[in-house]
Amino acid sequence: MSTGTRCGRVVIVGRPNVGKSTLLNRIVGIHLAATTSKPQTTRNRILGIYTEGNDQVLFYDTPGIHAETPRLLNQRLNKTAIASLAGADVVLLMVEAGQWRDEDARVLAYLQAVDVPVMLVVNKVDKIAHKEALLPYLAELGDKFEFAEIIPMSAFRPNDVERLLNVIKCYLPARPFDYDTEEVTDRSMRFIAAEMIREQLMKQLGQELPYSLAVDIEHFKETPGGADIAAVIFVEREGQKRIVIGTKGEMLKQVGTQARQRIATLLQQPVNLKLWVKVKPAWADHPGLLDQFNLDHE
């Protein structure tokens, strides 16, 4: 297998909400990472494995790097993203077309110390009505750093994703594959199930609540007839618990139905999903609970 093969680690970094997880999902062709319109969706480094012919690309999705707050959760998210840079063969810095915020500059500052090629991925070009407006913007970004490539694209367009993959392949080192060809991630279905539940909660709840939520899978069992999953949704206050449950339990029911469908698609079998809501004050500042909720240490 090693003859003529190329294999490399590509780390995707950027501020929150630019489309990193969307790109990862499009590349592996599976909804692996949670994606929402709200910032700070991703809380872990998530590997998506792309294998085609003699090429294997290990894509690492990371939490969006953002201005630090006193919350331990926020600090861990930034640390996870920054620590992911170590061992990269290529780094993708993702930005949103037409935008350059303080948080983008913050991410770029971390890349000054990186000694592998950094590609600038300018995502969401579909949102730009006048394409000529992009040219001065791209030139301005090109002056900020010695980027190996500058790639304007939309993660929604399969042709753009294909084009990006073709560029990345040219940068892969010649070496044997790290993973079997049929593998798509190193994350367990248990982990992905928790992500799918959190994704639905983030999508269906208001602006502030998502950052106070964590999902812990208490029971996960796959049988030939289907999967049995029980999960606890942790919030920080009683009032938040009422919101998550909703009037007559409607909100929780809706979240459960959507998450169950997503998980069933991934597992390719029926899923029985039970959800509970519990209050755990200030869990986002509690090191032990962050560990329990799978928030990495790095």
Ligand X SMILES: Nc1nc2c(ncn2[C@@H]2O[C@H](COP(=O)(O)OP(=O)(O)OP(=O)(O)O)[C@@H](O)[C@H]2O)c(=O)[nH]1
Residue 56 and residue 87: Cα distance in Å, rounded? 16
Q: Which is nearer to ligand X, 7 or 88 (CB)?
A: 88
Residue 90 and residue 283: Cα distance in Å, rounded? 35
Q: In 3D, which of 85, 77, 133 has the Cα closest to residue 109?
A: 85
Quick one: 238 exposed, middle or buried, by C-beta within 10 A (0-12, 13-18, 19+)?
exposed
Q: Does 35 participate in binding ligand X (rule CB under 6 A)?
A: yes
Residue 43 Cβ, how far from ligand X at the closest point, in Å? 8
User: Which of Mg ion, ligand X, none interacts with 16 (beta carbon under 5 to 8 A by kind)?
Assistant: ligand X
User: Which of ligand X, Mg ion, none interacts with 152 (beta carbon under 5 to 8 A by kind)?
Assistant: none
Q: Which is nearer to Mg ion, 93 or 277 (CB)?
A: 93
Q: Angle 250-267/189-204 helices, nearest 10 degrees?
A: 140
Q: Does 51 participate in binding ligand X (rule CB under 6 A)?
A: no
Residue 35 Cβ, how far from Mg ion at the closest point, in Å? 6
Q: Which is nearer to ligand X, 9 or 124 (CB)?
A: 124
Positions 146 through 165 that interact with ligand X (CB under 6 A): 154-156
Residue 13 Cβ, how far from Mg ion at the closest point, in Å? 11
Residue 174 and residue 78: Cα distance in Å, rounded? 31
Q: Does 200 participate in binding ligand X (rule CB under 6 A)?
A: no
- 225 near 231, Cβ under 8 Å? no
DSSP 8-state secondary structure symbol assigned to residue 63: P
State the residues that interact with Mg ion by CB under 5 A: 20-21, 41-42
- 192 near 33, Cβ under 8 Å? no
Positions 54 through 73 that interact with ligand X (CB under 6 A): 63-64
Q: Which is nearer to Mg ion, 41 or 80 (CB)?
A: 41
User: Which of ligand X, Mg ion, none interacts with 154 (beta carbon under 5 to 8 A by kind)?
Assistant: ligand X
Instruction: Out of 6, 45, 76, 124, name the contact with ligand X by CB under 6 A.
Output: 124
Q: Does 31 participate in binding ligand X (rule CB under 6 A)?
A: no
Q: Which is nearer to ligand X, 41 or 74 (CB)?
A: 41
User: Which of ligand X, Mg ion, none interacts with 126 (beta carbon under 5 to 8 A by kind)?
Assistant: ligand X
Cβ contacts of 120 within 8 Å, gap of 6 or more? 93, 95, 141, 142, 145, 147, 149, 150, 151
Q: In 3D, which of 232, 235, 213 has the Cα closest to residue 43?
A: 213
Q: Distance between the two ends of the chain, CA-based, in angstroms?
A: 33
Q: Does 191 participate in binding ligand X (rule CB under 6 A)?
A: no
Q: Does 123 participate in binding ligand X (rule CB under 6 A)?
A: yes
Residue 224 and residue 32: Cα distance in Å, rounded? 22
Contacting residues toward ligand X, per CB under 6 A = 14, 16-22, 35-37, 39-42, 63-64, 123-124, 126-127, 154-156
